[in-house]
Amino acid sequence: MMIHFRKYYYLLIGFLLSSCTSINEDKMWVQVNHNGENEVRVVTHQDTCPVVNIDGQPSLMETRVSGDNGNYPILVCKKTLPKTYANFSVLNQTFSHPLEPINKIAIIGDTGCRDSQNINDPEQWPFPQIVENISRHNPDLVIHLGDYIYQRDSRYNSQITERDKWEHWKTEFFDPADKLLKQAPWLFLRGNIEFLKAKEGWMKLVSAYPYSPFLVQEEEPFWVDSIEGVSLLAHDSSAAHRDFVSNVESYRSKLRKLDFSKDDKNVWLLTHRPLVGIVTIKNKNDNKESILSDSGYGLEVFKEIHSKLRFVVSGHIHTFQYIKAHQLPDQFVMGNGGVRLEKVAAPTILDNTIIQSQIIEKGMTINQFGYGILERHKEFWLLSLYSAKNTVLARCTIGKKESRCEFGAKN
């Protein structure tokens, strides 16, 4: 009798474990696409795409890209969502966050984990902790500014695209972000890592455009119109470079196709590389520190439309920065989402710093891990910068005409 009981007990445990495994292995999320539509996507290890039930109506998801026998042995599925719905379910998950209105936006950037960071130590790699904390804010939209995966493979140095594999995306992004992916829609921007070293994963998994087997050098910029009273522009700067400006005209020609006439000075620009961001470089020979702008390409690319931009949010520099200069849109840098922070921090106070002939009126650097929450108020938006452990590090009010930031604000 006892033997039989044990046998059924182990069978039951085995069944439960295999169920949990399959749910955890498959992934689902909702993302904003280039055409303004929201799309549910699924990564599955099954041979066919699953059924999605939208308000109880079942329909089969379509294939975005089939699995291969190499680095991406997964099937990626998609289904456009209607503008409104009560909920939908897929892969035993129910998603009930409405797509609109959007009044609270979470912002993260540069969340991947380098080889030199212990992926299991939240002090070294706090991205899972940041996801947990953002989840408590219950945002209406999550914006990722790019650079999702770094070096998790010790063999990486021998081959530059070694990390362009599903297992890396899973370990460094999809597993730790799982809770938030199931909770709110996302807007994904491409970082330079996804252009140079994880391009296949970008194209297959999270690009806002239809899948292409060929690398798209610069994806077209697109408007996100779902935030009332705001024109949010998603711009792909992943192929740009700090030091060369050969593709400036190509970027400009893409921007010229967009209509900027309707929202004078109310455009929020999201792009991986900042228009102005300050980094400190230590000279190896004499240990002298100097500061420079990373990356100046954006000043050239957006020269014709600076006056249209209310503010810019970028990642790429692994810190938080706020820069307000007279002739430029206000710049926020939020590349502090998990990857190792800047080794030599830029000065904390950036007031009166001159960079590329521009005088910074007000500026600050906070070299701590964290994330941003942008909330709508009646006359302004409030951007709160939180540490990974949820302390408020700064608060910035962003009005129609100007923004203002305070350090060390209290919870």
Does 170 engage in binding with Fe ion (CB under 5 A)? no
Does 111 engage in binding with Fe ion (CB under 5 A)? no
Minimum CB distance to Fe ion, residue 354 (Å):
25
Minimum CB distance to Fe ion, residue 147 (Å):
4
Output 95 or 173, the one with its CB closest to Fe ion: 173
Cα separations in angstroms, 342 against 125, 236, 316, 346? 14, 23, 10, 8
Q: Which residue is nearest to Fe ion (CB)?
A: 316
Does 316 engage in binding with Fe ion (CB under 5 A)? yes
Minimum CB distance to Fe ion, residue 164 (Å):
16
Report the alpha-carbon distance of residue 393 to residue 320 in Å, rounded. Answer: 10
Output 147 or 236, the one with its CB closest to Fe ion: 147
Does 178 engage in binding with Fe ion (CB under 5 A)? no
Minimum CB distance to Fe ion, residue 104 (Å):
26
User: Which stretch, 32-40, 192-200, 302-310, 320-328, contacts Fe ion (CB under 5 A)?
Assistant: 192-200
Residue list 122-151, contact with Fe ion (CB under 5 A): 147
Output 170 or 316, the one with its CB closest to Fe ion: 316
Output 281 or 382, the one with its CB closest to Fe ion: 281
Among 50, 126, 191, 338, binds Fe ion (CB under 5 A): 191
User: Which stretch, 10-18, 94-102, 311-319, 340-348, contacts Fe ion (CB under 5 A)?
Assistant: 311-319
Minimum CB distance to Fe ion, residue 209 (Å):
20
Output 191 or 277, the one with its CB closest to Fe ion: 191
Report the alpha-carbon distance of residue 20 to residue 14 in Å, rounded. Answer: 10
Does 192 engage in binding with Fe ion (CB under 5 A)? yes
User: Which stretch, 6-14, 74-82, 176-184, 187-195, contacts Fe ion (CB under 5 A)?
Assistant: 187-195
User: Which stretch, 127-135, 191-199, 291-299, 390-398, contacts Fe ion (CB under 5 A)?
Assistant: 191-199
Does 194 engage in binding with Fe ion (CB under 5 A)? no
User: Which stretch, 280-288, 308-316, 343-351, 362-370, contacts Fe ion (CB under 5 A)?
Assistant: 308-316
Minimum CB distance to Fe ion, residue 345 (Å):
17
User: Which stretch, 87-95, 177-185, 186-194, 367-375, contacts Fe ion (CB under 5 A)?
Assistant: 186-194
Contacting residues toward Fe ion, per CB under 5 A: 147, 191-192, 316
